[in-house]
A and B are shown apart, each in its own frame.
Chain A
């Protein structure tokens, strides 16, 4: 075992989330013990009750900011972290929690809770980068564990992680999957969606639903027109952008444009 003093210190932090992205680290069954050998897992409550005090060399942050307390907590974490990487759609785009943005959160609280007065929450779910500087963002709902291992390896090697920003379409071609939209007329968000999952949905005979968020330069307008031709109604076309990456600017704008176009017609 390497010298404990020379190993970089890793911390894993959770905000509003499902735990799935940090679970991805524990799901690296083949790599976990090697990772634990190369880095000191200094603060990872889901895995260990031992807490080593900061500062930390690498912080992985899961989840979005939805409470006043969390908005404070992330600043403190940033101050203790040499490198801060956000993992997953919640941390990078506000996640599914961003469906509250622009909605009546008080009404939401009344739907779920009998005593809304016990609940402290913000009206918006925001990505970590809205609050503090972020060194690298890893996309996905959930993240790909292969990409997570790449991020940790790149960090250890002192290089930039390789996570292509092209669309899911490229991954389908690499995988040899026949295009579900061209061949079967199945509406697919793949052309506008950031690669990383390995194009799972089309390989399972369904259209991509955008869980990795927007690719670097999506042409959502052209894609939306095609969805319309394939028979997807306006509400469905708007909803697909308003799901797990509703707060990502390109998807947020696409949904708004679809809603506005319909208002003009009526």
Chain B
């Protein structure tokens, strides 16, 4: 019997600590694990006994790259409990800060984590020696996303301005106007990014995925919508628990999420894009057509193009919000604390981020459940690896290992997030 092991002990250019281990026996993959050894981080336990108002600040600390996703899911869940709706300009400002997070997170991934795989560099810094203009374009695109986070949120990592019912302080119209010229440049640069990314070489690889994302009646989804899937799921977010489950596997400090009825599913940019193409602006749709993806995209290696399309969307959306912004009278809407259980589900850059809290009449949290995007994608990533390795056994170990890493990076896994949560080994027997 011949055995071959392909492994990476510490995956690079992902957020957090993980490894990959694949064993091939007589030309078949026998085990395939995305090992997550990021230490357990117990956030749901820490939240018990804390006041509802602390949830956005505490849950932000789950992830330095997508803190807004946690803050938004938390505040929406609390507002669900208290029966309050945040509308008008306050709602628009929440979308604006989310645009900043999508831009900062997606551009980091497109240019600094994923692009070096396609161009054959170990890092963006090495890539910058041969492609200085490309890397500088990425850095500026990313910086503008961070500037947006900083202006609306106070700072780019763990913003301080988001609260249940709205914000602490409202940005002035003239402050938002200072971003206009950069955002206008960003729309052009994001279009150029789509064109550049669509010209890369992609391995031919598609699986039969079930995509899951939010869907809103009028908008490309950020904070609100029903949970829908490519297999016909269409439920309110309150029904998350009835349709999804989390299971605990030995090789991961991240829980794996599954659809109770059908198992693995896929969240993130590809899912949003395939389920909400009709909600994108004419300009983004035109860029998608030019990139050859108007009919949808099922190849996770092409996620770099879809992220670029979402960056374009976020830049356009941010400009539109600034154009129509009217300063509201108050930064926060009135609400009364009451006991109950509430749900929040928003579209983090990496996919849906679901929160459920139970709060007592005293405003204290008695129970918290948080399902981050990467724990939902983890079984799908393993399934991709298994099929990808079986189709590319002719490659030597070094090449196969790099391709496998790339297959994992397709999902922009955020491992810190998922620990409640990576390392790569392919073993050939």
Which A residues form the contact surface with B (CB < 8 A)?
A: 1, 14-21, 23-24, 26-27, 29-30, 32-33, 36, 41, 44-50, 66-67, 70, 95-97, 99-100, 105, 107-109, 111-115, 118-119, 121, 141-142, 197, 200-201, 203-206, 209, 211, 236, 239, 243-244
A119 contacts B253, C-beta separation under 8 Å = yes
User: What residues of B have a CB within 8 angstroms of the CB of A205 in the complex?
Assistant: 168-169, 331
For B122, the closest partner residue in chain A by CB is: A50
B112 contacts A47, C-beta separation under 8 Å = yes
> In B213-259, which residues have CB < 8 Å from any A CB?
247-250, 253, 255
Task: Tell me the bound Cα distance from A70 to B41 in angstroms.
Answer: 14
Q: A47-B123, A113-B255 are in contact. Are A26 and B108 (CB under 8 A)?
A: yes
Q: A18-B62, A26-B112, A197-B155 are in contact. Are A41 and B168 (CB under 8 A)?
A: no
User: What residues of B have a CB within 8 angstroms of the CB of A209 in the complex?
Assistant: 57, 160
Q: How far is the CB of B18 from chain A (nearest CB, A)?
A: 10
Q: How far is the CB of A63 from chain B (nearest CB, A)?
A: 8
User: What residues of A have a CB within 8 angstroms of the CB of B392 in the complex?
Assistant: none
A112 contacts B44, C-beta separation under 8 Å = yes
Partner of A46, one of B15, B48, B135, B417: B15
Which B residues form the contact surface with A (CB < 8 A)?
A: 10-17, 38-46, 48, 50-51, 54, 57-58, 61-65, 67, 104, 108, 112, 122-126, 128-129, 132, 135-136, 139-140, 142-143, 146, 154-158, 160-161, 163, 168-169, 247-250, 253, 255, 331, 405, 414, 416-417, 420
B58 contacts A96, C-beta separation under 8 Å = yes
B125 contacts A33, C-beta separation under 8 Å = yes
A121 contacts B154, C-beta separation under 8 Å = no
Interface CB pairs A-B, < 8 A, 21:
A17-B416, A18-B61, A18-B63, A19-B65, A20-B61, A26-B112, A29-B146, A30-B143, A46-B12, A47-B12, A48-B122, A48-B125, A109-B40, A112-B40, A114-B247, A121-B39, A141-B158, A201-B154, A204-B161, A205-B168, A206-B161
Partner of A19, one of B63, B135, B140, B248: B63
A20 contacts B158, C-beta separation under 8 Å = yes
User: What residues of B have a CB within 8 angstroms of the CB of A48 in the complex?
Assistant: 12-13, 122-123, 125-126
Task: Tell me the bound Cα distance from A197 to B159 in angstroms.
Answer: 12
User: What residues of A have a CB within 8 angstroms of the CB of B156 in the complex?
Assistant: 27
Partner of B13, one of A45, A111, A115, A200: A45
Chain A CB within 10 Å — which of B14, B15, B420 has the most? B15
Q: A112-B45, A142-B157 are in contact. Are A47 and B39 (CB under 8 A)?
A: no
Q: Which 9 pairs between the two chains have the least Cβ-Cβ distance?
A: A20-B64, A48-B123, A49-B12, A50-B122, A108-B45, A29-B143, A114-B248, A142-B157, A16-B39
Q: How far is the CB of A134 from chain B (nearest CB, A)?
A: 20
Q: How far is the CB of B356 from chain A (nearest CB, A)?
A: 14
Task: Tell me the bound Cα distance from A207 to B47 in angstroms.
Answer: 21
Partner of B139, one of A32, A99, A114, A201: A32
For B12, the closest partner residue in chain A by CB is: A49
Q: How far is the CB of B364 from chain A (nearest CB, A)?
A: 8
Task: Tell me the bound Cα distance from A190 to B160 in angstroms.
Answer: 14
Known: A19-B416, A118-B253. 9 other contacts (CB 8 A): A17-B416, A19-B65, A21-B64, A26-B108, A41-B123, A96-B58, A107-B45, A119-B253, A204-B169
